[in-house]
Amino acid sequence: MFIEIHSFNSIEALTCESLKKEAALISIVDSERSTPDLKNQPDYILQLVFGDTCIETSRAISNKQAQKIADFVFEHKDRIDLLICQCVFGKSRSAGCAAAISEFFTEMG
């Protein structure tokens, strides 16, 4: 399973064409932004809303959301070739999510 990190804009561009792979998407947006417009949707999608940091205007990831990500990955990992982690800018939430998933599976060997 390959893992890619995308921003709001790059996931929209990526899905303009068929992904040509069995793919799953973890899409993370903040409460102020709508979900990306996916022309060709991946086979499996998990959409979550949480912010980069825990400040008054933003909600950080909850334990329940982290468990949803883990459950989603375990449910689909044997059926996909590509796992896409996407957030608004493709730098913090999606990269952190991808790093945690990658580290877990590297440790599991």
Q: What is the mean pLDDT of residues 89-96?
A: 92
**DSSP calls for 27-61:** EEE-TTSPPP--SS--SEEEEEE--SS-BTTBPPP
Q: In the chain, what percentage of residues exceed pLDDT 90?
A: 70
Q: Considering its fold, how many domains does the chain have in total?
A: 1
**In this structure, what CATH number is given to the domain that contains residue 13?**
3.90.190.10
Give this prediction's pTM. 0.89
Collapsing DSSP states into helix, strand and coil, what is residue 10? helix
pLDDT band at 107; cut points 50, 70, 90: confident
Q: What is the mean pLDDT of residues 73-84?
A: 97
Residues spanned by the domain of 15: 2-108
pLDDT band at 70; cut points 50, 70, 90: very high
pLDDT for 102 equals 96
pLDDT band at 56; cut points 50, 70, 90: low
Q: pLDDT: is 78 or 59 the higher one?
A: 78
Q: Report phi then psi at 51, rounded to 5.
A: -90, 175
Q: pLDDT: is 93 or 55 the higher one?
A: 93
Q: What is the DSSP letter of 33?
A: S
**Helix (H) or strand (E) segment spanning residue 37:** none
Query: 27-51: per-residue pLDDT in tens?
Result: 998 866 678 899 999 999 999 988 7
